[in-house]
């Protein structure tokens, strides 16, 4: 059984503040060259979020092009197998492109249009954000370049092919560990040199202000729908929400509309890799340090000299050294708990959900499912649990098969 949650202050709807801070976290730590475009983006977003026409266009595209609302699915056989809490899955895997990333990419391409930008860049780890960005650029006829680490390109070859088929240039990054952190570095270098005509669609609730706020707001549709759907199905709010946390976009999207509901517990699940061994995991709240990385102040994995440590996860989308600043804030005030699942636990959950429900979760999402598999049997049958199935596992079949078949 989960321990009682410590009392936490109400969440201010005004966060982040005008400087992009969630308490002590967040902010704008970027080269001077990027200050003006970030301020321009913040101003454009402020106008857009108060413009009914913007929301009408976004809502129509989310419905007709992307496939919202996504179902809230009662996982009956999995619930019976585990023998405890009643498990619902928020089916973001059923969206066009196969993951929640399209929610943010679509919102940001509309902002790029408003800003008059004709070229878009992005970074990607698991490839789902890259695919989402390639998709919306094809839809709106914009030039698109996606930066991706060489290691991630090899393990997510299907998504690389999908991006290229939609006309996107995928640029291989070979520096450092050749994963997501290095892809972000290269995308930021590109943006510094091309800010006049380029918009950077950052994929997670990370980076400099206003990106954590913008990405969160475009992903809040997950929690808004889940709240309405569970009230329709159960006539009450859930007891527990669970989501995986890399940068944290799918998790903050589910959690945010419930933050002021004191009786709703929330657990974010990071990548435990091979266990909490230096350089063999990506669980920032397990021995991480406060620092600044790629535009934001947050918890990150670094050595005693402040150098960013290598990370590892079977899941490319969770293999990143820092966590979104709003998650750092929520952990600090005790509103959200953060734990981890190892590679082996995530792979076992991948197989379990496939066997019980005929659903292949993305390996990212499988980390959340691993926690559900562990905690649900210890909870009373009256407990209602919602887990965010943030993406589907088609992209991971070849990799998972090496371990499971």
Tell me: do 160 and 210 sit in the same domain.
yes
- How is residue 78 written in tokens? 């999995």
Cβ neighbours, 10 Å, residue 14? 7
Please name the residue that has the structure tokens 């129509």: 60
Residue 54 included in any domain: yes
pLDDT per residue as tens digits for the range 166-225: 999 999 999 999 998 899 999 999 999 999 999 999 999 999 999 999 999 999 999 999
Determine the structural domain holding residue 209 and report its residue range: 21-62+101-215
Could you tell me the CATH number of the domain that includes residue 184?
Answer: 3.40.50.1100
Domain end residue (candidates: 185, 215, 245): 215
Closest CA to 249 of 268, 230, 234, 262: 268
Closest CA to 5 of 275, 346, 333: 333
Tell me: do 235 and 197 sit in the same domain.
no
Domain count of the fold of the chain: 2
Question: Per DSSP, which regions of 16-65 are E strands?
Answer: 21-22, 25-26
Tell me: do 204 and 345 sit in the same domain.
no
Residue 2 included in any domain: no
Tell me: do 111 and 48 sit in the same domain.
yes
3-state secondary structure of 41: helix
Domain end residue (candidates: 168, 195, 215): 215
3-state secondary structure of 284: coil
Residues tagged active-site: 101, 123, 390
| pLDDT value of residue 11 | 55
Closest CA to 204 of 312, 295, 283: 295
| pLDDT value of residue 3 | 39
pLDDT per residue as tens digits for the range 250-295: 999 999 999 999 999 999 999 999 999 999 999 999 989 999 999 9
Q: Mean pLDDT for the chain?
A: 95
Closest CA to 321 of 334, 333, 312, 331: 312
Tell me: do 261 and 322 sit in the same domain.
yes
Cβ neighbours, 10 Å, residue 41? 24
Helix or strand holding residue 71 (H, E): none
């Amino acid at each position: 059984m989960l321990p009682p949650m410590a009392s936490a202050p109400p969440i201010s709807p005004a966060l982040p503040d005008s400087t992009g801070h969630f308490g002590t976290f967040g902010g704008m730590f970027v080269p001077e060259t990027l200050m003006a475009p970030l301020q321009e983006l913040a101003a454009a977003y402020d106008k857009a979020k108060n413009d009914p026409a913007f929301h009408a266009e976004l809502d129509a595209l989310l419905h007709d092009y992307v496939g919202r609302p996504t179902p809230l699915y009662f996982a009956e056989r999995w619930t019976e197998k585990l023998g405890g809490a009643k498990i619902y899955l928020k089916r973001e895997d059923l969206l066009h492109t196969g993951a929640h990333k399209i929610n943010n990419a679509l919102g940001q391409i509309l902002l790029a249009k408003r800003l008059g930008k004709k070229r878009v860049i992005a970074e990607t780890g698991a490839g789902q954000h890259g695919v989402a960005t390639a998709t919306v650029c094809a839809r709106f006829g914009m030039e698109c370049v996606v930066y991706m680490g060489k290691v991630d390109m090899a393990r997510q070859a299907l998504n690389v092919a999908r991006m290229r088929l939609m006309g996107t240039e995928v640029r291989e990054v070979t520096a450092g560990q050749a994963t997501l952190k290095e892809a972000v570095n290269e995308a930021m270098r590109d943006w510094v040199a091309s800010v006049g005509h380029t918009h950077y669609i950052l994929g997670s609730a990370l980076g400099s202000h206003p990106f954590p706020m913008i990405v969160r707001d475009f992903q809040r549709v997950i929690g808004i729908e889940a709240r309405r759907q569970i009230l329709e199905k159960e006539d009450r709010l859930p007891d527990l929400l669970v989501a995986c946390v890399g940068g944290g976009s799918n998790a903050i999207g589910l959690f945010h509309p419930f933050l002021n509901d004191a009786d709703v517990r929330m657990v974010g699940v990071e990548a435990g890799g091979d266990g909490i061994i230096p350089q063999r995991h990506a669980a920032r709240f397990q021995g991480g340090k406060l620092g600044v990385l790629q535009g934001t102040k947050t918890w990150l994995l670094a050595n005693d000299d402040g150098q960013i440590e290598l990370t590892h996860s079977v899941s490319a989308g969770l293999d990143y050294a820092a966590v979104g600043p709003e998650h750092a804030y929520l952990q600090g005030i005790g509103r959200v708990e953060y734990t981890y699942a190892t590679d082996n636990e995530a792979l076992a959950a991948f197989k379990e959900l496939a066997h019980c429900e005929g659903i292949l979760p993305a390996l990212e999402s499988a980390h959340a499912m691993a926690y559900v598999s562990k905690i649900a049997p210890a909870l009373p049958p009256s407990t209602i649990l919602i887990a965010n199935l943030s993406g589907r596992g088609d992209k991971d079949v070849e990799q998972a098969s090496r371990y499971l078949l």
